[in-house]
Amino acid sequence: QGPTLRQVRDRYVNVAAPPASTTLQVSRFFRDGLLFELDVLAMVPG
């Protein structure tokens, strides 16, 4: 899925100077019902 994600992402970011990013795929946790927290910081030019 990495190449597909990159193709879509490249349509929306400056590929000459892309922003920092991290991609993590989790197919399953070791215990059912386990949750995780994700913090996101975004900046919109204006």
CA atoms of 10 and 12, how far apart (whole Å): 5
pLDDT (tens digit, 9 = 90+) per residue, 1-46? 678 888 998 999 999 999 888 888 888 888 988 888 888 888 888 8
| Cβ–Cβ < 8 Å for 44, 19 | no
| Cβ–Cβ < 8 Å for 13, 19 | yes
pTM over 0.85: no
CA atoms of 6 and 18, how far apart (whole Å): 11
| Cβ–Cβ < 8 Å for 1, 25 | yes
